[in-house]
């Protein structure tokens, strides 16, 4: 890819803000001459503001509950649970955005794999034979095709994990808001009668019920956290297996596994020995094999 303005190419990573406006991808040949230009329009994603509006609606309810807790005699313990339950709330849009990014990445990987597969079996196989063609075919079938396939599976699994996390965070936020919306009017009303012994007992009972519900929410958050930590750990193990299959000792810093190619294959004087034109009688009669290498 070349950039006519002389600027270095920019890579957009998941979680980063996509540049505004259209971007152009310049496809060149081996000599650097631009063959065609593809215009890519980034898809804008705007935070709908759900989380911000939820917090704005929750703040007055929390203040009302805290005032009632302070006069109940259980203020310290109740406030601790109040902080723990609300501190664990999060913006579900962040996980929605990552779900979409991983989903797009999965589709891009599959499209690239198909393009590579078709390019080899449509352009190379019908026209060339020889050691270089055979070596390239093995590399495409058993290395590159497998690499794309595994990366596609991991991208799909990451998208599913982010969707599950988005759902869980959304449900947790709504559960917290629902607890405060239901308890605030009751606590506020009973707190006005707390000067009477019966009213104070009723307030302590109601605050106790609130504490129990808040404690269940904290446990719910811990269960969700542990569940998704386990899923991410499984995905990390799959990535380790992938690195082990394609890099020496599983370490990308040590480079890709050796294809054991002879140095002569890169000698321009011997190119005719390794790339042999295909005769019409040698041309394959059928199309490319299935994309899934066996």
User: Are 265 and 275 a contacting pair, CB within 8 Å?
Assistant: no
279 sits in which H/E element: none
Classify each residue of 169-191 as buried b or exposed e, where b means 16 or more C-beta atoms within 10 Å of its C-beta.
Answer: bbebbebbbebbeebbebbeebb
Separation of CA 56 from chain center: 29
Sequence-ordered list of residues with C-beta below 8 angstroms from that of 205, at least 6 positions apart, any chain: none
- Pairing outcome for strands 276-277 and 128-129: antiparallel
Residue 162: how many other CB atoms lie within 10 Å: 22
- Could you report the per-residue pLDDT of 170-181, keeping only the tens digit for each? 999 999 999 999
Q: What is the pLDDT of residue 171?
A: 92
Q: How many Å apart are CA 106 and CA 162, to the nearest integer?
A: 13
3-state secondary structure of 13: coil
The mean pLDDT of 227-252, rounded to a whole number, is: 82
Q: How many Å apart are CA 133 and CA 113, to the nearest integer?
A: 19
The mean pLDDT of 103-114, rounded to a whole number, is: 85
Nearest to 257 by CA among 242, 241, 245, 239: 245
pLDDT at 14 over 70: no
pLDDT at 65 over 60: yes
Q: What is the pLDDT of residue 13?
A: 34
User: Are 254 and 246 a contacting pair, CB within 8 Å?
Assistant: no
Q: What is the pLDDT of residue 175?
A: 92
Query: Picking from 41-45, 117-121, 124-128, which range would have the lowest pLDDT averaged per residue?
Result: 41-45
Phi, psi torsion values for 38, nearest 5 degrees: -110, 125
Q: What is the pLDDT of residue 289?
A: 59
- Could you report the per-residue pLDDT of 183-193, keeping only the tens digit for each? 988 888 888 88
The mean pLDDT of 206-231, rounded to a whole number, is: 88
pLDDT at 10 over 50: no
Residue 66: how many other CB atoms lie within 10 Å: 15
Q: What is the pLDDT of residue 288?
A: 57
pLDDT at 282 over 80: no
DSSP letters for 74-113: -HHHHHHHHHHHHHT---HHHHHHHHHHHHHHHHHHHHHH
Query: Picking from 69-73, 88-92, 208-212, which range would have the lowest pLDDT averaged per residue?
Result: 69-73
Q: What is the pLDDT of residue 38?
A: 55
Higher pLDDT, 11 or 7: 7
pLDDT at 125 over 60: yes
Give whichever of 163-167, 197-201, 249-253, 284-288 has the largest mean pLDDT: 163-167
- Could you report the per-residue pLDDT of 254-275, keeping only the tens digit for each? 877 776 667 777 777 887 888 8
Q: What is the pLDDT of residue 44?
A: 60
Q: What is the pLDDT of residue 172?
A: 92
The mean pLDDT of 77-82, rounded to a whole number, is: 86
User: Are 206 and 183 a contacting pair, CB within 8 Å?
Assistant: yes
**The two three-digit tokens of residue 23, written as one number:** 């971007």
For the chain, percent of residues with pLDDT exceeding 70:
79
- Tell me the average pLDDT of the chain: 78
pLDDT at 107 over 70: yes
């Amino acid at each position: 890819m070349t950039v006519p303005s002389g600027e270095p190419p920019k890579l957009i990573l998941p979680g980063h803000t996509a540049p505004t406006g259209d971007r152009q991808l310049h496809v060149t040949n081996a000599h650097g001459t631009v063959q065609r230009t593809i215009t890519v329009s980034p898809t804008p994603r705007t935070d709908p503001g759900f989380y911000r509006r939820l917090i704005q609606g929750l703040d007055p309810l929390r203040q009302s509950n805290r005032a009632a807790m302070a006069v109940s005699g259980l203020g310290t313990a109740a406030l601790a649970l109040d902080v723990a339950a609300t501190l664990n709330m999060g913006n579900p849009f962040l996980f929605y955005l990552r779900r979409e990014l991983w989903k797009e990445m999965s589709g891009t990987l599959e499209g690239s794999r198909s393009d590579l597969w078709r390019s080899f079996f449509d352009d190379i196989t019908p026209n060339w034979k020889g050691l270089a063609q055979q070596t390239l075919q093995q590399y495409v079938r058993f290395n590159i095709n497998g690499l794309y396939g595994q990366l596609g599976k991991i991208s799909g699994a990451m998208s599913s994990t982010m969707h599950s996390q988005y759902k869980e965070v959304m449900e947790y936020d709504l559960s917290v808001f629902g607890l405060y919306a239901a308890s605030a009017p009751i606590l506020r009303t009973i707190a006005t009668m707390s000067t009477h012994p019966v009213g104070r007992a009723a307030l302590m009972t109601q605050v106790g019920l609130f504490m129990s519900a808040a404690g269940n929410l904290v446990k719910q958050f811990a269960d969700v956290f542990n569940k998704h930590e386990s899923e991410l750990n499984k995905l990390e193990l799959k990535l380790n297996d992938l690195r082990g299959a394609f890099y020496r000792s599983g370490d990308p810093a040590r480079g890709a596994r050796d294809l054991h190619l002879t140095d002569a294959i890169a000698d321009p004087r011997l190119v005719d020995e390794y790339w042999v034109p295909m005769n019409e009688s040698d041309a394959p009669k059928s199309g490319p094999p299935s994309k899934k290498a066996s």
